């Protein structure tokens, strides 16, 4: 309030105002104390109304070349920094303290804000596989750009080492470093396609490391990589296979919220086509669907030609070598989404507060004649629930009193004899009856079925002479499938 | 340790001694010869001391450090953070080992050493003392060693500048290497070494690399530019030169990197982009994903400085109509605005989108399908900031898709969506359910989703949203529950209908066991009650009771404020509350204390008898409070309310001051004003300006000269060899109509395509209405107006008249007309969102061979397509697209990245393709949306001429109007679409509104609209029904039923509505006209009034009177004389078909310079012809 009044005076330097208007002293004490904390030559600019913005504006030097990612820190679950990489000058680890502070505040690791502001830097982090990937940037950069890149780093690690965990990264620290060096140049992504990277840095295998150690040869390609230069950056040249095969997995996930009474609040299908293509040479593939109109929204691997999709609804592409996600799609047919199972639930707590009763029954709903497998029901219980003594007619259940999660692993769903889980829950002594309702999450799997009805029509190959082996597999899974109680 | 060292040193030193004499090459050779023996021997010696670990080391082998075998026993200790002082002692020793290894001749040892060093760097250990040892190996032949040395060098060069210089010559040699990859990597490392002294060398290297043959090296040069710039900003000018050069590069590989460099070094030099703008747009699809993001962001800024705001006119038109969530203040001065708007509109020349602007929008749209979230977001922000309102909707689906991604991505996307929903609610409304919250979402995602849901709340969906909120309140996540309660409060303040429901719900929450929930509810209830306190004294009473239980300060303060403010509603309770509060005063929080003082003051003023002493007591307590704010407040209040002899004039007004009516608070979204930051930026996310943030400039008032983007085609011929000649021609063509002042170009091409021109443009109009209807309420009339506008535009261009003046004249003259006329005028002055169609279809004259064959077929089928389109607009766009694609397929080579990819081939379309190709591409995206938009939601349009079906008095409060929407009636093409609007102005709701056929004329058919089950009081609803009038103007008599009554009503179509536009060329028109002579021809002479003289007015009026389409005219004139069109009397032709029988209706208006004009109508159905003559005559002469 004070500030606004004194700053609104035109062209007045802060000091003159302070001496002229005695009653405004308070405000100027604030200002001068603020100035004290800044370097002295900043005084004139600090008195501009932009003062209120934030202090870092003032101390950012006039010439700061924008760079994207300055540094990367890998932090494990317990908060140790176990790897750091700087693409420009070194930034001290202390910058991570801001992050740790935020991590302390957050109840769950997922709740740590992905973007944090510190006086001199911005911290953008992701949480994957129980690790934090924390990048430091100094200036404006699209946050999604950084986040997406970090995820790409994780995916590259997974691709190289099979998993992305602290031990694996520590064991392969040199490869990791080489990868990071290649992926980012001066903070700007350089080579992120795994095919190019693999040409430059060979992924470690046990056999090769043995041989390398014994012979002293490196895991670097002696031949210089050509992928960067090729017209098709995602495919390396000179691929050779004796068995030429192309497999496509159509994996669909049902995201749904079903309310208490069993009616669907919202439901949608998210699908993805994972491909494993091992073909010699430069094959040009065309994948067509029986019913491409089903697809409401699609996104593609860069290899897919947009225009052909727009025009003919076929996927035409020169595939990367090996495993990749060809496309992901979305089927938004609110009413058409078949919900394969239902869960009848009755969870109640006694008024007295001493315990409660739980009764769950799962049954098939619209399974399209296929069997539901891998059915797992997870219930997040209220905090007051201490333990559960239940009996399951099928499968087994576990209750973790620390996380308050009840997991009932049913397995294959038998339509003749519906699995049931019932019994009593015991509450913390003296705790009031919980008001919040547990929510039920369902995981399941149906083989040989794409629940949206999507069907691959055919796969044609051009550009190469041989006849590849082709295969398509359909799987339906439950995605974020939730039953409210 | 020491024995091991000895073991170690012996063999190594021995080898060294022997080999110092021999040169290194020999050493390598020897090593090559015996790969196992000598290095392995060394290895074994090295590790023999530690047997058990050896195996493990071998397994993890190449990975080095982390698993680094035997040395870990020593190494590990210092590595742990703050791990003991022992590290200090062992470190030098260990480093000696490493030095030893680095000095050896064996690559394997060097490699091992380097790996361990890198592992140490990775863990943040300082290894700078090894610099001399490491830097020697920069020339090592082993690539892996070399790479690791590079890693080291880049890390420590800054600290050891002098030593780093030793390595420079190696890189300089590398820069000359015949292998492009080696050149590139040398430049990369050289530029990463942050040593000021080598700036000149770097500069030279960059300059050289920028003109390297290999695009990969050029890319590296682009990467090096920002590095050099950050090292020495003095070099800026020289670097800009390099950037300028690289910007002209034609390869996709370089584009992304150089734009990045541009953004870092000289983002203000927007002029460098001009010449490369079109190239960048065209290359964009094939640039790698990271480069795409940078380019799109840069182009967004560029477009903001170079093009006009496409929404400017619409803003003026719609700002009142579109009730934004927070637009309450806008509504108030709507009326004043109206006049201003009209004024502004009449002054403003019609908006024409720059074709380059369109190019950008068109070429970025496919990127919404990218797998990379950052690219999608970049395109989304580009559309949000640059696209015409009607087109922004396409981004919604892609953004919603990103919500499936990782939670960090969700977080960023939701923040941006939240900002967008405030401006463009309609865009995300269809995706409401995608924002429903799952209990497994992280809290921060939940809160953001909640924000979006709140922003999306409107009268229509509030009940669903509130039902959702109800389930959220039961959540275990208390922060989220609190946020939900606030959200309910916001919904309640903005949507009056649900205020009471919300309030009741919140009051119920007051009995919740969780104190946080209760507290939050109290705060929200307080805000709601402030809006209408008199109705809710019982709630206030209830809350007064809560003071005993609630401890949360904010909630207590809220309750006290409420009681004080509305103490007259609770006269008995208020003093008692004050009494209790006075007791606990000293223990309260500051905000509560302040409210106690407030309460005391208010009670003192209203009820001084009971509370005088209490107030004194409270003020006394406050006087000695620790907090100076409270002391201040107490002193101030005392002076104000307690009458003393010396107190001034103020105390007279104490009541007025303290008990003044307080305006109800406006609960606002925290995202309200965020959109002044560029969406997707860090600054937007943090809502503060981040360092290096480039402000998104405001649209310019007048567009800068667009010709700056023209590229000399000749100059770039060598590079362009790959693109077809057609492409080049196109490039020229596109520019011509817009940029060339004199029409120097030849005529024949023009005339050939001009036939298809207006057809396509009008087609575009109708298409647009189908797809673009999502948000603009005036979509329908817009579609018409677009049509007119575009034709008019084209016409104006053809005649090379200055387009501005005549239109303006017309507009001004018309403004005096009746309101209906005014509506029309508004229609006219809405700018066509795209005009590219015309320009682009100019190159239709060069169809490829294949299309030539199919051309006639095409144009025939086109009519069918057209028809189909009429029937099913949502599907329509895809059809032509399909055809497009087939053609395109032929010329699509394997993705050709290295050289300039020709502009997207859609520009190549055969003559007679009604949909101009560019339009097709534009509509592709739009077509994505319209599947989502329910076709039932046809917005009521004020500007169509509507007729009364049922008067509100006869209808007992039900008021029914109908109008002819001129949209194709989907279920039956032989029916006329009639849009009916029900308005229930009665006090009670009307139920089950439906139509029943009564007495229809023979042959007439009616397709009823689905029954409206309930129409609440004050609401209105719009439905569409189809009527087959059998091409007669006989009224359709119907029965309109409500749950209680039946009304006889009739719908009478004006003759002009009994037809649908039909598209034909002038030649076809003449041919058809020749067959409809004699009895079928009706001619009428007329004197056109002054203001109706220009063709714009004529076209507009004829089309308003009858649902016809204009036949592109002028081919006869322009064919013969290319340059200025002859001033001969223009003839306007219109064509249509009757809806039921499909008989042709041809209208010709021939104006004469002097003397009467002539109106000719040729129609098989004489009755229709006669009636139409009358109508059109009336329309024209009025």
pLDDT at B84 exceeding the cut of 50: no
Which of A:146-185 have CB within 8 Å of B?
147-149, 151, 170-178, 181, 185
d(CA A14, CA A19): 9
The answer to whether the CB of B1166 falls within 8 A of the CB of B1079 is yes
Per DSSP, the three-state class of B178 is coil
Q: Chain B within 8 Å of A135 (Cβ-Cβ)?
A: no
| Helix or strand run (H / E) with residue A264 | strand A264-278
pLDDT in tens, B802-836: 444 444 444 444 444 444 444 444 444 444 444 43
> Quick one: pLDDT at residue B923?
37
**pTM for this model (two decimals):** 0.63
Q: Is the pLDDT assigned to residue B296 strictly greater than 90?
A: yes
A188 contact B CB<8A: yes
CA-wise closest residue to B1020 among B971, B960, B969: B960
DSSP letters of B1000-1034?
PPTT-EEEPPPPEEEE-TT-EEEEEEEEE-TTS-P
**Is A20 touching B (CB cutoff 8 A)?**
no
pLDDT at B14 over 70: no
Q: Could you give the strand order of the β-sheet that contains A456-462, starting from the edge strand earlier in sequence?
A: A314-317, A284-289, A456-462
Tell me whether strands A469-483 and A245-258 are parallel, antiparallel or unpaired.
parallel
**Rounded to the nearest 10 degrees, what angle do helices B779-799 and B804-814 cross at?**
130
The rounded distance, in Å, linking the Cα atoms of B276 and B601 is: 70
Q: What ipTM was estimated for this complex?
A: 0.83
Give the range among A110-124, A301-315, B655-669 with minimum mean pLDDT.
B655-669
- Residues A229-239: what's their mean pLDDT? 72
What is the C-alpha separation between B1055 and B1049, in angstroms, rounded? Answer: 19
pLDDT of residue B536: 73
CB atoms A171 and B40 under 8 Å? no
Residue B793 has pLDDT above 60, yes or no: no
Q: How much is the pLDDT for B999?
A: 67
pLDDT tens, position by position, A49-91: 333 333 333 333 334 444 578 899 999 988 889 999 988 788 8
Nearest to A185 by CA among A268, A288, A284, A70: A70
pLDDT (tens digit, 9 = 90+) per residue, B871-923?
Answer: 444 443 434 434 444 444 344 333 333 333 333 333 333 333 343 444 334 33
Q: What is the DSSP string of B822-863?
A: HHHHHHHHSPPS--HHHHHHGGGG---HHHHHTHHHHHHHHH
pLDDT tens digits along A250-275: 999 998 888 888 888 888 888 999 99
DSSP string for residues in B762-790: HHHHHHHHHHHTTT-TTHHHHHHHHHHHH
Q: Does A142 touch chain B (CB under 8 A)?
A: yes
The whole-angstrom distance between B968's CA and the closest CA on chain A is: 23
Among candidates B599, B596, B660, B593, which has minimal Cα distance to B626? B593
DSSP letter for each residue of A206-246: HHHHHHHHHH---SB-SSPP-GGGSSSTTS-SS---SS-EE
Q: What is the mean pLDDT of chain B?
A: 70
The percent of residues in chain A predicted with pLDDT above 70, rounded, is 79
pLDDT at site B26: 41
Q: Which letter does DSSP use for residue B725 in this model? A: H
DSSP state of B322: S
User: Is B1146 strand, coil or helix?
Assistant: strand
Cα gap B570→B784, rounded to integer Å: 60
CB atoms A224 and B179 under 8 Å: yes
Q: What is the dihedral of CA B873, B875, B881, B882, to 10 degrees?
A: -140
Are residues A117 and B688, on separate chains, in Cβ contact within 8 Å? yes
B1108-1118 tens-digit pLDDT: 887 776 544 43
Q: Calculate mean pLDDT across residues B472-498.
A: 85
Residue A246 main-chain phi, psi, to 5 deg: -140, 120
Chain A stretch 290-329, residues whose beta carbon is closer than 8 A to a beta carbon of chain B: 296-302, 305-312, 318, 325, 328
Coil, strand or helix: which one is A22? helix
pLDDT of B145-187, one tens digit each? 888 888 888 888 888 888 888 888 888 888 888 888 788 888 9
- On chain A, the residues whose CB falls within 8 A of the CB of B40 are 214, 216
Closest CA of chain B from A398, distance in Å: 19
Q: How far apart are the first and last CA of chain B?
A: 110
Smallest CA–CA separation between B207 and chain A, in Å?
Answer: 18
Q: Distance between CA A330 and CA A290 in Å, rounded?
A: 16
Q: Do B121 and A177 touch (CB under 8 A)?
A: yes
- Closest-CA distance, A303 to chain B, in angstroms, reads 9
Rounded to the nearest angstrom, the minimum Cα separation between B570 and chain A is 32
Dihedral angle sign, alpha carbons of residues B830, B831, B832, B833? negative
Give the model's confidence band at A338: pLDDT under 50 very low, under 70 low, under 90 confident, else very high: confident
A chain contacts of residue B76, beta-carbon cutoff 8 Å: none
Torsion, CA A201, CA A204, CA A207, CA A208, rounded to 10: 30
Q: Do A311 and B398 touch (CB under 8 A)?
A: no
**Tell me, what's the pLDDT at B94?**
61
Residues 70-99 of A with CB under 8 A from B: 80-86, 88-90, 93
**What's the Cα-to-Cα distance from B852 to each of B65, B763, B839, B855, rounded to whole Å?**
69, 22, 21, 5
Contact B63 A171 (CB under 8 A): yes
Q: Do B438 and A149 touch (CB under 8 A)?
A: no
**Largest distance between two CA atoms of chain B:** 122
Contact: A142, B377; criterion CB under 8 Å: yes
C-alpha A342 chain-centroid distance: 28
Q: Please measure the distance between the N-terminal and C-terminal CA atoms of chain A and give it in whole angstroms.
A: 49
In angstroms, the CA B129 to CA B133 distance is: 9
Q: Which of A106, A115, A173 to mutate to test the interface with B (most CBs of B within 10 A)?
A: A173
**Is A248 strand, coil or helix?**
strand
Specify whether the CB–CB gap between B1021 and B1040 falls below 8 A.
no
Cα R_g (chain B), whole angstroms? 39
Instruction: Choose among B124, B436, B688: nearest Cβ to A266.
Output: B436
Helix intervals (H) in A184-222: 194-200, 206-215
Which pLDDT score is estimated for B34? 38
**A305 to chain B, minimum CA–CA distance in Å?**
8
| pLDDT at B1018 (0 to 100) | 74
Under 8 Å CB-to-CB from A356, ≥6 apart: which residues?
A347, A348, A349, A350, A385, A424, A425, A426, A427
Chain pair A-B, CB pairs under 8 angstroms: 350
Those of residues 221-260 in A touching chain B at CB distance below 8 A are: 222, 224-225, 228-229, 231-233, 255, 257, 259
Which tens digit of pLDDT belongs to each residue from B969-1009? 767 777 888 888 888 877 777 777 777 766 677 777 787 77
List of chain A residues whose C-beta atoms are within 8 Å of the C-beta of residue B216: 228-229
B252 in Cβ contact with B283 (< 8 Å)? yes
pLDDT in tens, B1149-1159: 887 766 778 88
Contacts of B434 in chain A (CB under 8 A): 266, 268
Which chain B residues are within 8 Å of A141, Cβ to Cβ? 682
Which residue out of A174, A232, A294 would a mutagenesis test of the B interface target, given it has the greatest number of B Cβ atoms within 10 Å? Answer: A174
- Maximum Cα–Cα distance across chain A: 91
**Interface membership of A351 toward B (CB under 8 Å):** no
Beta bridge partner(s), residue A249? A274, A473
Name residues whose C-beta falls within 8 Å of residue B1096's C-beta, 6 or more positions apart in sequence. B788, B792, B795, B796, B806, B807, B810, B828
Q: If we measure between CA atoms, which residue out of B197, B186, B255, B253 comes closest to residue B224?
A: B186
Query: Which among A142, A194, A288, A384 is the top mutation candidate for probing chain B, defined by the most B β-carbons within 10 Å of its own β-carbon?
Result: A142
Percent of chain B with pLDDT over 90: 6
| A382/B476 CB distance under 8 A | yes
Of A85, A173, A229, the CB nearest to B64: A173
Cα of B59 to nearest chain A Cα, Å = 6
Report the sign of the C-alpha dihedral through residues B477, B478, B483, B486, in that order.
positive
**Region of residue A453 (phi > 0: left; psi between -120 and 50: alpha; otherwise: beta):** left
Indicate the pLDDT class of residue B445, thresholds 50, 70 and 90. Answer: very high
CA separation for the pair B129, B887 (Å, rounded): 66
pLDDT digits (tens, 9 = 90+) for A427-439: 887 777 776 678 8
Is the pLDDT confidence value at B1062 over 60? yes
């Amino acid at each position: 309030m004070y500030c606004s009044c004194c700053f609104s005076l035109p062209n007045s330097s802060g000091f003159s105002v302070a001496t002229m208007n005695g009653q405004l002293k308070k405000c100027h004490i604030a200002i001068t104390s603020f100035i004290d904390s800044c370097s002295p030559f900043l005084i004139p600019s600090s008195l501009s109304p932009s003062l209120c913005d934030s202090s870092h504006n003032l101390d950012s030097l006039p010439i700061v070349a924008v760079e994207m990612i300055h540094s990367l820190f890998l932090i494990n679950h317990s908060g140790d920094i176990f790897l750091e990489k700087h693409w420009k000058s070194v930034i001290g680890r202390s910058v991570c303290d801001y992050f740790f502070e935020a991590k302390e505040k957050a109840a769950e690791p997922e709740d740590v804000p992905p973007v944090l502001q510190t006086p001199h830097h911005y911290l953008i982090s992701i949480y994957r596989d129980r690790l934090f990937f924390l990048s430091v940037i100094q200036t404006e950069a699209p946050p999604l750009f950084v986040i997406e890149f970090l995820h790409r780093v994780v995916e590259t690690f997974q691709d190289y080492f099979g998993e992305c965990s602290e031990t694996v990264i520590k064991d392969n620290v040199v490869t990791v470093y080489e990868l990071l060096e290649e992926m980012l140049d001066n903070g700007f992504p350089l080579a992120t396609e795994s095919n190019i990277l693999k040409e430059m840095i060979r992924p470690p295998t046990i056999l090769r490391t043995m041989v390398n150690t014994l012979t002293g040869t490196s895991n670097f390609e002696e031949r210089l990589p050509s992928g960067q230069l090729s017209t098709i950056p995602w495919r390396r040249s000179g691929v050779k296979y004796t068995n030429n095969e192309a497999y496509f997995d159509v994996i669909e996930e049902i995201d749904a919220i079903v309310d208490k009474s069993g009616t669907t609040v919202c439901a949608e299908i998210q699908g993805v086509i994972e491909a494993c293509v091992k073909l010699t040479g430069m094959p040009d593939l065309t994948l067509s669907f029986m019913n491409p109109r089903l697809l409401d929204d699609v996104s593609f691997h860069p290899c897919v030609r947009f225009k052909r999709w727009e025009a003919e609804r076929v996927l035409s592409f020169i595939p990367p070598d090996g495993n990749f996600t060809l496309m992901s799609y979305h089927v938004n047919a609110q009413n058409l989404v078949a919900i394969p199972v239902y869960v009848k639930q009755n969870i109640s707590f006694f008024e007295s507060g001493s315990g409660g009763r739980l009764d769950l029954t799962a049954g098939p709903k619209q399974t399209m004649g296929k069997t539901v497998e891998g059915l797992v029901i997870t219930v997040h219980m209220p905090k007051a629930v201490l333990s559960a003594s239940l009996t399951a007619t099928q499968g087994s259940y576990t209750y973790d009193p620390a996380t308050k999660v009840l997991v009932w692993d049913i397995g294959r769903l038998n339509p003749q004899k519906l699995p049931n889980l019932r019994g009593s829950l015991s509450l913390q002594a003296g705790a009031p009856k919980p008001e919040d309702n547990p929510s039920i999450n369902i995981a399941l799997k149906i083989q040989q079925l794409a629940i949206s009805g999507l069907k691959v029509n055919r796969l044609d190959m051009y550009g190469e002479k041989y006849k590849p082996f082709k295969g398509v597999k359909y799987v339906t899974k439950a995605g974020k499938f939730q039953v409210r109680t | 340790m020491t024995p091991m060292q000895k073991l170690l040193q012996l063999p190594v030193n021995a080898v060294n001694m022997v080999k110092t004499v021999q040169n290194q090459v020999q050493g390598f050779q020897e090593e090559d010869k015996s790969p196992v023996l000598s290095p392995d021997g060394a290895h074994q010696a090295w590790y023999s001391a530690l047997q058990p670990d050896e195996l493990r080391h071998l397994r993890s082998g190449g990975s080095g450090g982390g698993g680094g075998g035997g040395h870990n026993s020593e190494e590990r200790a210092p590595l742990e953070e703050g791990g003991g002082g022992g590290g200090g002692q062992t470190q030098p020793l260990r480093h000696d080992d490493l030095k030893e290894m680095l000095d050896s001749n064996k690559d394997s040892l060097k490699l091992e050493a380097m790996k361990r060093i890198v592992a140490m760097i990775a863990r943040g250990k300082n290894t700078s003392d090894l610099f001399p040892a490491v830097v020697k190996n920069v020339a090592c032949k082993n690539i892996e060693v070399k790479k690791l040395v590079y890693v080291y060098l880049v890390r420590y060069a800054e600290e050891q500048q002098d030593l780093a210089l030793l390595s420079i010559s190696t890189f300089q040699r590398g820069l000359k290497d015949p292998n492009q990859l080696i050149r590139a990597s040398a430049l990369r490392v050289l530029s990463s070494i942050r040593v000021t002294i080598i700036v000149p060398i770097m500069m030279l290297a960059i300059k050289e690399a920028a003109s390297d043959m290999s695009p990969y090296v050029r890319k590296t040069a682009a990467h090096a530019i920002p590095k050099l710039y950050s090292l020495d900003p003095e070099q800026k000018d020289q670097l800009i030169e390099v950037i300028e050069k690289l910007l002209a590069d034609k390869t996709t590989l370089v584009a992304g990197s150089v734009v990045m460099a541009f953004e870092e070094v000289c983002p203000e030099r927007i002029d460098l982009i001009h010449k490369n703008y079109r190239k960048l747009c065209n290359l964009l699809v094939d640039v790698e994903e990271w480069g795409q993001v940078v380019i799109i962001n840069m182009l967004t800024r560029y477009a903001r400085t170079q093009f006009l705001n496409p929404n400017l006119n619409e803003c003026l038109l719609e700002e009142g109509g579109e009730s934004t969530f927070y637009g309450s203040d806008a509504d108030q001065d709507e009326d004043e605005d109206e006049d201003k708007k009209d004024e502004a509109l009449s002054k403003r020349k019609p908006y024409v989108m720059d074709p380059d602007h369109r190019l950008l929008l068109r070429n970025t749209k496919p990127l919404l399908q990218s797998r990379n979230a950052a690219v999608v977001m970049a395109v989304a922000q580009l559309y949000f900031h640059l696209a015409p309102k009607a087109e922004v909707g396409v981004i919604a689906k892609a953004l919603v898709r990103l919500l499936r991604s990782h939670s960090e991505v969700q977080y960023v996307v939701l923040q941006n969506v939240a900002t967008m929903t405030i401006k463009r609610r309609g865009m995300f409304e269809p995706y409401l359910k995608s924002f429903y919250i799952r209990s497994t979402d992280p809290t921060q995602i939940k809160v953001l989703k909640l924000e979006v849901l709140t922003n999306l709340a409107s009268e229509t969906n509030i009940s669903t949203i509130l039902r959702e909120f109800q389930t959220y309140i039961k959540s275990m996540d208390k922060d989220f529950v609190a946020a939900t309660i606030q959200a309910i409060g916001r919904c309640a303040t903005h949507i009056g209908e649900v205020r009471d429901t919300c309030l009741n719900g919140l009051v119920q929450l007051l009995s919740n066991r969780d104190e946080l929930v209760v507290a939050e509810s109290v705060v929200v209830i307080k805000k709601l009650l402030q809006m209408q306190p008199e109705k809710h004294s019982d709630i206030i009473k209830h809350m007064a009771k809560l003071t005993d239980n609630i401890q949360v300060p904010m909630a207590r303060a809220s309750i006290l404020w409420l009681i004080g403010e509305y103490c007259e509603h609770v006269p008995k309770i208020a003093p008692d509350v004050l009494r209790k509060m006075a007791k606990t005063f000293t223990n309260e929080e500051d905000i509560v204390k302040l409210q106690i003082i407030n309460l005391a003051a208010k009670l003192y003023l209203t009820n001084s008898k009971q509370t005088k002493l209490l107030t004194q007591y409270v003020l006394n307590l406050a006087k000695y409070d620790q907090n100076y704010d409270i002391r201040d407040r107490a002193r101030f209040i005392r002076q104000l309310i307690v009458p003393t002899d010396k107190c001034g004039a103020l105390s007279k007004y104490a009541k007025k001051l303290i008990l003044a009516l307080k305006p109800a608070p406006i609960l606002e979204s925290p995202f309200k004003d965020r959109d002044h930051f560029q969406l997707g930026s860090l600054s937007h996310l943090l809502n503060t300006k981040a360092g290096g943030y480039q402000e998104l400039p405001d649209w310019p008032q007048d567009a800068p000269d667009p010709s700056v983007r023209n590229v000399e085609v000749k100059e770039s011929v060598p590079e362009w060899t790959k693109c077809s000649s057609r492409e080049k021609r196109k490039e020229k063509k596109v520019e011509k109509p817009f940029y060339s002042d004199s029409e120097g170009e030849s005529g024949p091409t023009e005339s050939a395509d001009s036939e298809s021109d207006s057809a396509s443009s009008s087609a575009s109009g109708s298409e647009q209405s189908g797809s673009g209807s999502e948000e603009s309420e005036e979509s329908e009339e817009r579609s018409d107006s677009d049509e007119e506008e575009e034709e008019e535009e084209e016409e104006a261009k053809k005649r090379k008249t200055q387009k501005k003046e005549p239109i303006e004249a017309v507009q001004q003259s018309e403004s005096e007309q009746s309101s209906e006329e005014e509506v029309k005028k508004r229609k006219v002055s809405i700018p066509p969102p795209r005009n590219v169609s015309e320009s682009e279809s100019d190159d239709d004259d060069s169809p490829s061979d294949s299309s030539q064959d199919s051309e006639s077929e095409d144009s025939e089928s086109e009519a069918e397509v057209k028809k189909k389109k009429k029937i099913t607009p949502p599907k329509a766009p895809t059809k032509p697209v399909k055809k497009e694609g087939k053609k395109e397929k032929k010329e699509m080579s394997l993705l050709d990245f290295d050289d300039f990819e020709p502009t997207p081939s859609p520009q190549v379309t055969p003559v007679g393709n009604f949909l101009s190709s560019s339009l097709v591409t534009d509509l592709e995206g739009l077509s994505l949306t319209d599947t989502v938009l329910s076709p039932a939601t046809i917005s009521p349009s004020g500007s169509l001429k509507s007729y009364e079906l049922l008067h509100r008095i006869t209808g007992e409060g039900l008021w029914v109007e109908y109008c002819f929407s001129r949209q194709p009636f989907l279920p039956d093409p032989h029916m006329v679409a009639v849009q009916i609007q029900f308005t229930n102005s009665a006090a009670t709701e009307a139920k089950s509104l439906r139509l029943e056929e009564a007495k229809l004329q023979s042959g007439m058919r009616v397709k009823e609209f689905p029954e409206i089950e309930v129409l609440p009081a004050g609401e209105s609803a719009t439905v569409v029904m189809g009527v087959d009038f059998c091409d007669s103007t006989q009224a359709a008599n119907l029965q309109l039923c409500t749950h209680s009554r039946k009304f006889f009503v009739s719908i009478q179509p004006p003759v002009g509505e009994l037809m649908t536009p039909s598209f034909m060329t002038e030649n076809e028109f003449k041919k058809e006209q020749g067959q409809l002579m004699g009895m079928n021809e009706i001619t009428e002479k007329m004197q056109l009034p002054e203001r109706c003289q220009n063709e714009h007015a004529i076209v507009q009026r004829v089309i308003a009177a009858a649902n016809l389409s204009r036949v592109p005219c002028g081919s006869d004139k322009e064919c013969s004389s290319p340059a200025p069109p002859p001033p001969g009397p223009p003839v306007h032709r219109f064509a249509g078909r009757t809806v039921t029988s499909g008989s042709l209706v041809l209208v010709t208006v021939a104006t004469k310079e002097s003397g009467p004009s002539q109106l000719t109508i040729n129609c098989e159905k004489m009755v229709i012809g006669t009636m139409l003559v009358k109508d059109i005559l009336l329309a024209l002469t009025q």
